[in-house]
Structure 1
Amino acid sequence: MDKRKCVLYVAMSLDGYIADINGGVDWLNQVQGDGSDNGFCEFSQTVDTVIMGRKSYEQILTFGNWPYKDMDAYVFSQTLEKACENIKVVNRNAAEFLKDIRKNDGRDIWLLGGAELIDEFIKQNLIDEYIVSIIPTILGGGISLFKDNRPLTQLTLIKKETFGDIVQVTYIRTED
């Protein structure tokens, strides 16, 4: 059996931000794709596990119904003790956690965000595939997708698609 991939699937502004200066993502609703779901349905068929940080989890809760009911969901947090529904809280090393859940059969694992958790996964070289939708908006500030002083990570482009004005690129990590 092939290893379950850890896939970062995220949208960012043209200037590299995943949220505005206040942590908001309302600007994502202002963009015009091609009228479809911009590839999300196809992507969601490849994953059965979603992992996120506490801030992303709390923001998703404000959207209404939990959108990932059909997935195993994990929230990384040092402060959160309990999550709603069947969502599990993780307070341990990301590499050890990922190694453990990869032992289970299943589809790929979606790293949803946010920035702190993505940064930790990059530092530990845990992301196998990067799917980034580039939104034609310049925020001018906010929460950067990639933090400064990260280790060099070589990627290889394997796919590019457009959905109206949105460009989605897919990269795999180049093996050393």
Structure 2
Amino acid sequence: MVTGHVFIAASLDGFIATREGDVSWLTPNGAESEDHGYNAFYDSIDGIIMGRGTWAVVSRFDPWPFDKPVIVLSGSLTQDDVPDMLRSGVRIWNMPPRDAMKKLAAEGWKKAYIDGGKLIQSCLAEDLIQDIILTRVPVLLGAGLPLFGDLPGMKPLKHLHSKSFASGLVQSHYQIGS
């Protein structure tokens, strides 16, 4: 089975975007020149599995930031919703995360970057996430799209390490399970 890995940032009060989906607050002054480990993380994965909401945001990025395969899990989108210039690298699948990971394992994937709040929540509920690298941004949004939601039960985490940055970002790496 493919292992799921999360690399994400959230406000100090636990939101990954404002209610309107704005993420411009994610990079405080000075953070753009710091190495937060994203490139090393990205180099370690075979591709990205994202939810529809994340796709709605990243599909507008110019230039396109991914040179690895992207799987969008959605019950409302089809392959026709992918712009022509991205069709060779982006696939829309209407299936549960576990089925997608089984299918990707059959394609030879070992590690998948799981991206998007609701998808992360679903994958946590199904025990499909191996670890989380969470960067806290020193801002309180007060409301927005939460990183974590209801889970079927408690999820113990093992703290692996934390690092703080001059910009005020604090990054922690957790293994799921104790």
Assess same fold via TM > 0.5. yes
Show structure 1 runs of 4+ deviating over 6 A. Answer: none
- 1:9-24 aligned at under 5 Å gives the runs 9-24=7-22
Secondary structure at the residue paired with 2:27?
Answer: helix
Aligned-pair CA distance for 1:23: 1.3
Name stretches of at least 5 consecutive residues in structure 1 with no aligned partner: none
Q: Distance in 1 between matches of 2:147 and 2:165?
A: 21
The alignment status of 1:47 with 2:45, answered yes or no, reads yes
- What per-residue deviation string (whole Å, max 9, x for no partner) do you get for residues 122-173 of structure 1? 1111111111011111111101100135421111011212222111111111
Question: Would the alpha carbon gap of residues 150 and 31 (structure 1) be closer, same or farther in structure 2, given more than 3 Å must change?
Answer: farther
- Residue 49 of structure 1 contacts residue 107 of structure 1 at CA under 8 Å; is this kept in 2? no
Q: Distance in 2 between matches of 1:174 and 1:144?
A: 21
- What per-residue deviation string (whole Å, max 9, x for no partner) do you get for residues 81-107 of structure 1? 122322000111211211221344345
The alignment status of 1:99 with 2:97, answered yes or no, reads no
Question: Would the alpha carbon gap of residues 106 and 95 (structure 1) be closer, same or farther in structure 2, given more than 3 Å must change?
Answer: closer
The alignment status of 1:71 with 2:68, answered yes or no, reads yes
Aligned-pair CA distance for 1:120: 1.1
Q: How many residue pairs were aligned?
A: 171
Equivalent position amino acid for 2:171 in 1: Q
Q: Bigger CA drift: 117-126 or 29-38? A: 29-38
Secondary structure at the residue paired with 1:156?
Answer: strand
Secondary structure at the residue paired with 1:30?
Answer: coil
Q: Distance in 2 between matches of 1:162 and 1:4?
A: 30
Equivalent position amino acid for 1:87 in 2: V
Secondary structure at the residue paired with 2:124?
Answer: helix
Aligned equivalent of 2:163: 161
Q: Distance in 2 between matches of 1:60 and 1:80?
A: 15
Aligned-pair CA distance for 1:31: 4.5
TM-score (norm 2): 0.87
Question: Would the alpha carbon gap of residues 49 and 103 (structure 1) be closer, same or farther in structure 2, given more than 3 Å must change?
Answer: same
More helix, by proportion: 2
Aligned equivalent of 1:172: 175
- Residue 50 of structure 1 contacts residue 109 of structure 1 at CA under 8 Å; is this kept in 2? yes
Q: Distance in 2 between matches of 1:72 and 1:102?
A: 13
Aligned equivalent of 2:58: 60
- Residue 31 of structure 1 contacts residue 136 of structure 1 at CA under 8 Å; is this kept in 2? no
Secondary structure at the residue paired with 2:101?
Answer: helix
- Residue 47 of structure 1 contacts residue 110 of structure 1 at CA under 8 Å; is this kept in 2? yes
Name stretches of at least 5 consecutive residues in structure 2 with no aligned partner: none
Secondary structure at the residue paired with 1:21?
Answer: coil
- Residue 31 of structure 1 contacts residue 135 of structure 1 at CA under 8 Å; is this kept in 2? no
